[in-house]
Amino acid sequence: MSQPRDSFGIWVSAELGLSGARIERELSGGNSNLTQLVVHDNGQLVMRSAPANTISPKAHLGVQREAKFMSALAGHAPVPDVLCWCNDEAVIGHPFALVEHVDGVSITEALPASYDNVDSMNSLGLQLASALGEIARAPWEQLGLAELGRPDNFLQRQIERWVSVREQQATRELPEIARLGSWLLDNIPAEGPVGIVHGDYHLDNTLCAHQDARLMAVIDWEMATIGDPLSDLGLLLMFWGPRPVDPPGFAHVQAVSRREGVLPRRDLADAWSRASGIEPAKLNFYLCFAFWRLAAIVEGAYGLYLNGKVDTEYAKGLEHDVPALLQEAALAAQGEW
């Protein structure tokens, strides 16, 4: 283990002029990629890399994509600064990115004690929506991101893909997947906007200040692409505030926002519109799409559980989560959100 650490320190010194760099420990957060703390003589950095146990030669591409999007968005949206991307496997054995260390907290089920109240929750919600609007209005073509997405027929391709996957890999009787898939295809907005799509945007994938209700950085960009940014807004709104199915699917995500006095989803949509300059039309469609797409994707993990290939509480919980998400998708299609 000493050789990679030595090689790493030498490489960081040569590339960034920082002495004494070493990989200290793994950080929590981020489900698909590895996040590690790097310390050096003058401070701290964060290393992002593919999971250590991966066997795919393309596993690093998600982290590389993340680094490209965050680098491009610097100055346009609250993202950590990307210091470098290293593709030389001789340094630590696999490619990695070094990113600014943001001293923030990832909020999941509770607000920090210093601002645990509904006013702070509402402030964070508006900041979340506004930051997402800034991302949506960023000049993606000028920022060199045109090759990182296929915006033409973005929504149609997503819907058709997951309808097909669930037909070919059916795990149980879920007629709402096909029914709502057909509804979505029939109701795709004729001329949706084009912009940067984070792909997994909600409070859990941000860092906030420890002492005050302040959004500091949007993280976890490995799923980013160019498409319809209203799909991100739908995802943010689906997890926000009270939900009509009890318990809701994926109850842990933004659970902290389900409290009395929280702003309605429409207020967040208006904040997004002010920041993006885009009218948030057909939100029934986009919320339905967000619930439906997530259900269609994660049903695959439930299939693995049923086949005995995984045995986790997350996969087991999908027995309820997927049908619950589909219930909310159906309600959203009817305007009940």
Average pLDDT over residues 268-296: 97
pTM: 0.93
- Residue 58, pLDDT score: 77
- pLDDT higher at 33 or 3: 33
- DSSP of 247-291, one letter per residue? SPTTTTTTGGG-STTPPPHHHHHHHHHHHH------HHHHHHHHH
By residue count, the chain amounts to 337
DSSP 8-state code for residue 117: S
Residue boundaries of the structural domains of the chain:
2-100, 103-148+201-223+249-281, 152-193+282-337
Average pLDDT over residues 41-60: 82
Segment (H or E) for 23 = strand 22-26
Q: What is the CATH number of domain 2-100?
A: 3.30.200.20
DSSP 8-state code for residue 103: -
Q: Which of 193, 184, 186 minimizes the C-alpha distance to 293? A: 184
The pLDDT confidence band at residue 29, using thresholds 50, 70 and 90, is low
User: Is the CB of residue 318 less than 8 Å from the CB of residue 199?
Assistant: no
Interval 173-214: pLDDT, tens = 999 999 999 999 999 998 889 999 999 999 999 999 999 999
Q: Is the pLDDT of residue 301 over 80?
A: yes
- C-alpha 124/C-alpha 309 separation (Å) is 39
The pLDDT confidence band at residue 51, using thresholds 50, 70 and 90, is confident
Interval 154-164: pLDDT, tens = 999 999 999 99
